[in-house]
Structure 1
């Protein structure tokens, strides 16, 4: 039987030429325009070869009455072949090699070949040519008559995770990388993509409805990940795809670090790789977003028998979110970094929902137990039990940096330069090793790094610590955020607080404000416009200053290690080499150094262990003392220098008056505080003793004197001026 080619039908060809339509197959033609780099079909022409009719829809001129009649006559006598699906491909279009990287073989859901697609580069850009096999044995540049097929279906049913890509090129590349047929040392996310089916849809964002999404969705997926191109049109298609699936759905969103229109078939930006080709760009975890479609839409018969549209939240969507009563937040169980107020939740869900108030439908359908948010690096997983045994969502996420064996000497060399004193450096390294390798243990003292010389590397060390702990577990508040504000959102859900410049040596305010943050087991979090709440305290503190009067410290301070920092700057070439080493995998090697710290003879800090003393800390404590305290200590030292046989008693009020006289009334310490200062200097306080008409408490330089009778004590009374004479 001789079959008719569509271009042999004179009236059909004339009509298609008049309206600017191109043949799709024997049953249809279309009119296309290009928008934002994507082809968009604006009109369709459908031929009914059985009835002999032609119908136009969309933005295309319909045939005139005369054209329709002429076309009908042609269709009545035309004999068209039908497309065939091939279990095996014995031949291919002339000049086309199915193994060529620019030729893509498409299968149907029964794994039969239904189309080839040829990718051609033209001066105007890339062009895709479809090829289908027909019942007359010919290959034609036509699409199948029903749905356009998906690329990559063979073997897909063996997986539970589906990755959906725009076009076949990325699918082809990933499949070859997984099989080992191709190698690319600049495809950093391969392990994430290894365990899943990769399928591509074709036709662009404007032709989605031509694919058989219903059949794809019926393949028993447990999870769907949509990988759209990096442009507005590509991202806009994500909700349209997600609506077809009733399983947890996610999207991979490329940001501005990738070029516009980037997809996974493209070369990754050079800027994302370090000096030894190591990947330094965003992790896959930082580019994944929730994308489950939220709602279903139904038509019911309402009052009076009229149809009515109703909506309800999908179960799969509701099961991914939980309401946290304590903070009145809605939190994603799989990705708890997505936690939002009701208004924010509605905005976030709007592209994936039939309605504007998705939160209302969610709360109406929500049947979960009451949970709380917590932050607990000592527990593994998102869903945990808190100390009281209640269900909680753990917001802690480990650092993406994984320990990697290698040379860590550049880090130790940097530390030897930064903190020249071996004892101070060892204490600091012990703190760092424990911080990095033992997230389940909280160190109850912090680090204060001071040097008057700028650019010594204090901030560099803080940046290194933040990378090792995880940027998501670190914050960088300014001094005023700590000292000058009642809000402390910077402390919420963090392990490391880095303050790059603090200068609070003029006041006790910063020290007192930081006290509970450093040592308390729980903290109250106060975020602006949100209810306050209490959570476990896992914070550690690393403070820097270019002043040696950075922070006041009290006697016996146990909260801060103050190592002596170098005042000599490293040469620029040394810093450049060190940063190059960090970019080339140095962070992973420092993490390995910390992980194996005890194996090499070190010892991690114990819970509750206090900060060691250092010479810099002693100096800072001395500088923190008021003039009155300094004079009081000088008085105690002068009494000690009188010798072991001296017996001295001084009324505390006399000491207070003496200080007021010497310091021109600038004395804020009470008699009780002065007595405590002298007690720390080795002196003792008596009971009240009558001297003249008044009773006084005395400080004495020998413990037995505190039990002497008043008469004997009065004989030992001395005036401060008699002891210090004119030294002040």
Structure 2
């Protein structure tokens, strides 16, 4: 047909088959498609860009030729055995152009899974200038031709359906075929093999710049619950994700490889060597680390014919299933990645590549079924969109760690514990706290962990940032500064987290930090204030691990039940020791091995911390409490300790008012100040020193009690706490106990 040939040649279009040509522009190993030219059965030319439309004369001449009765062959499916007739042509092309001409030709077979028939064959030839892909199809005149088949480009896929409900589509047949065969190999040790086996693997051909030419009918017919598109690792490959999404228009995720992967890398290539430790252990990313939601957001609704109105937009039903607008706070959440809360502005920016409008949120707000979901953070429940006992929808933002416990040698962990926490009882308390945090996310402990050493570099922060944080999921942790904790107006660091790590806290005699953290540690619900967001309430599952180089880190009360304060070594480890520990953690599965060890330890040592448990009263904690004592409290300690040392085996009785009088006499020269340590404070100090409070109050001056009204007796012997005052007086008379007149002794 000279008229058709003249028109095609005028535009330099490349023939794809008898009925389709492409005007394209090459760059790198890709080409940019400028126009698709299609030939209809009656000779009508259709173009994707009117700039390449035929002239009226050209179109008329082409139609005349078809009116004369020209019939073009049609592509058709063929039995797999027919490939034997194609092999000589494949060998000829391979020997003519391939750098490895002596090898067998490389080709991929494209099957119709329902019939088992071949739809096409794609040949790959490695030439001196790069890869070439040749399409081969069978035609109704009984010939194989180096042409694309009629219609859209088929996907490469396994010959028979695997029955999987999730599909992973790769760019190109090579990666899809490689992964399919790898998944069938029971001996495969690929680090992603378990994730990959959840999918049936297909390959999209035509290049990263032509995903719109794929036969999406094949995917729609299968109707998978999820389709994941794997981008080639370059700019054009990643940009293809949006085009695939716009054409597929159903539930879809995208895998995009980051800069740690080589350019053009795909899943048929070996994993980068940098993803393995020196001993061969995989330490690179998981597929889940690389996945992004990519479901197309909008449908365009054209204006009525003849109307000058602009088209309108509607949210696609599949996008609607994935995204929820939360009522309080006003945020948008993807139910498959619920740990990320997006403001309206951030949401619009995030989904803009997958939407036809700048303001997708405005359209989403119109859908009543998508609004009003609540927000919760519930580590004991599944993540994502849930319903409560009243059938009210809510989004659980908690996403658990992916860390899987693994049996193994934990010597570096045990060495760290022994070196950092030298007192066995304290070390046991620390282990129980950490193991509960890691192994029992359903338990909210009611006390935090405070690590104090005056020497830097002993490993306090290592426990939080380098050990616990990776084990419970970094997205479940925050690391606020002391200023943020004590003086900040916003407390977003508390929300949707299980662990807050404060690397350096110092409050001195100020109780502000203690008071602020008390509610964080104990309350069941927190009121969250975040910048640019309305305040809202959320369940409190936060635990606090605070570090300090000073015993004045927090002003702890004498009867504190909110902090575990173990003794921490002042021994500074060498750089080589730290390197060995971190190499084991990061490259030898240290975190997984610690998790397994923690589970075993809890089973053998009395189980986890419960919500009713309080921390043990350690010597280190006692020192912190005393560091925060006033001068009067310190003097009370000196009095009680002096009495104990003078008569270590004697039952002593002393009045709290007498101790208070001693403070007034020594510190204030007998003049009672406006502010003085109360009798209740003195009793708390006494308890901290191991003394006990006698239950019956003293209402007599028989023991020369200062005239302050009713007072309380203190004793160093716990057996006397319930003894009546009258009986105590008789014991003193019989010499079985000693009443101490503080004014006379000191």
Q: How big is the shift at 1:253?
A: 2.9
- Is 1:130 aligned to 2:135, yes or no? yes
Q: Deviations over 1:295-315 (max 9, x none)?
A: 22233538x876763332223
State the secondary structure of the residue aligned to 1:89. helix
Which residue matches 1:198?
201
Distance 1:671 1:424, change over 3 A: closer
Looking at structure 2, the residues matched to 73 and 362 of structure 1 have their Cα atoms a distance apart, in angstroms, of 53
Distance 1:568 1:679, change over 3 A: closer
- Is 1:211 aligned to 2:214, yes or no? yes
Looking at structure 2, the residues matched to 434 and 176 of structure 1 have their Cα atoms a distance apart, in angstroms, of 42
Query: Which of 407, 411, 414 is the equivalent residue of 2:413?
Result: 411
Query: Which of 482, 490, 493 is the equivalent residue of 2:493?
Result: 490
Looking at structure 2, the residues matched to 52 and 102 of structure 1 have their Cα atoms a distance apart, in angstroms, of 37
State the secondary structure of the residue aligned to 2:369. coil
Q: How big is the shift at 1:318?
A: 1.9
8 A Cα contact 2:109 2:121, kept in partner: yes
Query: Which of 309, 313, 316 is the equivalent residue of 2:315?
Result: 313
Q: How big is the shift at 1:368?
A: 5.0
Which residue matches 1:234?
237
Looking at structure 1, the residues matched to 622 and 349 of structure 2 have their Cα atoms a distance apart, in angstroms, of 55
Distance 1:216 1:377, change over 3 A: closer
8 A Cα contact 1:25 1:143, kept in partner: yes
- Is 1:29 aligned to 2:21, yes or no? yes
Looking at structure 2, the residues matched to 647 and 67 of structure 1 have their Cα atoms a distance apart, in angstroms, of 116
8 A Cα contact 2:42 2:63, kept in partner: no
Looking at structure 2, the residues matched to 580 and 305 of structure 1 have their Cα atoms a distance apart, in angstroms, of 68
Q: How big is the shift at 1:611?
A: 0.6
Looking at structure 1, the residues matched to 302 and 158 of structure 2 have their Cα atoms a distance apart, in angstroms, of 34
Q: Deviations over 1:397-440 (max 9, x none)?
A: 22110112222333222211222222221221122222222111
State the secondary structure of the residue aligned to 2:409. coil
State the secondary structure of the residue aligned to 1:204. coil
8 A Cα contact 2:303 2:311, kept in partner: yes
Q: How big is the shift at 1:492?
A: 0.8
Which residue matches 2:735?
none
Which residue matches 2:88?
94
Q: How big is the shift at 1:705?
A: 9.1
8 A Cα contact 1:350 1:358, kept in partner: yes
Which residue matches 1:427?
429
Counterparts of 1:26-105 in structure 2, within 5 Å, are 26-35=18-27, 37-44=29-36, 51=43, 81-90=73-82, 91=84, 92-94=86-88, 96=90, 102-105=106-109
Q: How big is the shift at 1:360?
A: 2.6
Which residue matches 2:668?
661
Which residue matches 1:3?
none
- Is 1:301 aligned to 2:304, yes or no? yes
Q: How big is the shift at 1:491?
A: 1.2
Q: Structure 1 stretch 398-407 or stretch 387-396: which is displaced more? A: 387-396
8 A Cα contact 2:90 2:105, kept in partner: no
Which residue matches 2:144?
139
Looking at structure 1, the residues matched to 468 and 69 of structure 2 have their Cα atoms a distance apart, in angstroms, of 80
Looking at structure 2, the residues matched to 70 and 536 of structure 1 have their Cα atoms a distance apart, in angstroms, of 72
Which residue matches 2:584?
581
Looking at structure 1, the residues matched to 77 and 546 of structure 2 have their Cα atoms a distance apart, in angstroms, of 69
Which residue matches 1:374?
376
Looking at structure 2, the residues matched to 377 and 96 of structure 1 have their Cα atoms a distance apart, in angstroms, of 58
Structure 2, gaps ≥5 residues long: 95-102, 715-723, 730-738
Query: Which of 530, 537, 543 is the equivalent residue of 1:534?
Result: 537
State the secondary structure of the residue aligned to 2:398. coil
Q: How big is the shift at 1:131?
A: 2.1
- Is 1:591 aligned to 2:591, yes or no? no
Looking at structure 1, the residues matched to 261 and 673 of structure 2 have their Cα atoms a distance apart, in angstroms, of 62
Q: How big is the shift at 1:634?
A: 2.8
Distance 1:298 1:645, change over 3 A: closer
Which residue matches 2:553?
550
Structure 1, gaps ≥5 residues long: 1-8, 709-716
Distance 1:663 1:51, change over 3 A: farther
Query: Which of 167, 192, 196 is the equivalent residue of 2:172?
Result: 167
- Is 1:154 aligned to 2:156, yes or no? no
Q: Deviations over 1:424-457 (max 9, x none)?
A: 2122112222222211112212222222332222
Which residue matches 2:720?
none
Looking at structure 1, the residues matched to 219 and 419 of structure 2 have their Cα atoms a distance apart, in angstroms, of 61
Looking at structure 2, the residues matched to 633 and 174 of structure 1 have their Cα atoms a distance apart, in angstroms, of 73
Looking at structure 2, the residues matched to 62 and 339 of structure 1 have their Cα atoms a distance apart, in angstroms, of 52
Q: How big is the shift at 1:43?
A: 3.9
Which residue matches 1:273?
276
Looking at structure 2, the residues matched to 330 and 75 of structure 1 have their Cα atoms a distance apart, in angstroms, of 59
8 A Cα contact 2:332 2:341, kept in partner: yes
Distance 1:632 1:100, change over 3 A: farther
Q: How big is the shift at 1:654?
A: 5.4
Give the TM-score, by structure 1 length.
0.84
Query: Which of 500, 504, 509 is the equivalent residue of 2:503?
Result: 500
8 A Cα contact 1:472 1:494, kept in partner: yes
Q: Deviations over 1:253-286 (max 9, x none)?
A: 3333333433322332222223333332233333
8 A Cα contact 1:164 1:201, kept in partner: yes
Query: Which of 608, 630, 633 is the equivalent residue of 2:612?
Result: 608
Q: Structure 1 stretch 323-332 or stretch 165-174: which is displaced more? A: 323-332
- Is 1:563 aligned to 2:571, yes or no? no
Looking at structure 1, the residues matched to 709 and 389 of structure 2 have their Cα atoms a distance apart, in angstroms, of 49
- Is 1:398 aligned to 2:405, yes or no? no
Counterparts of 1:239-388 in structure 2, within 5 Å, are 239-245=242-248, 247-299=250-302, 301=304, 309-367=311-369, 370-384=372-386
Looking at structure 2, the residues matched to 683 and 217 of structure 1 have their Cα atoms a distance apart, in angstroms, of 79
Q: Structure 1 stretch 361-370 or stretch 430-439: which is displaced more? A: 361-370
Looking at structure 2, the residues matched to 388 and 51 of structure 1 have their Cα atoms a distance apart, in angstroms, of 64
Q: Structure 1 stretch 90-99 or stretch 494-503: which is displaced more? A: 90-99
Q: How big is the shift at 1:592?
A: 1.0
Q: Deviations over 1:514-561 (max 9, x none)?
A: 112122222222212212222222122222223344333221222222
Which residue matches 2:736?
none
Looking at structure 1, the residues matched to 417 and 301 of structure 2 have their Cα atoms a distance apart, in angstroms, of 66
Distance 1:19 1:647, change over 3 A: closer
State the secondary structure of the residue aligned to 1:379. coil
Looking at structure 2, the residues matched to 357 and 55 of structure 1 have their Cα atoms a distance apart, in angstroms, of 32
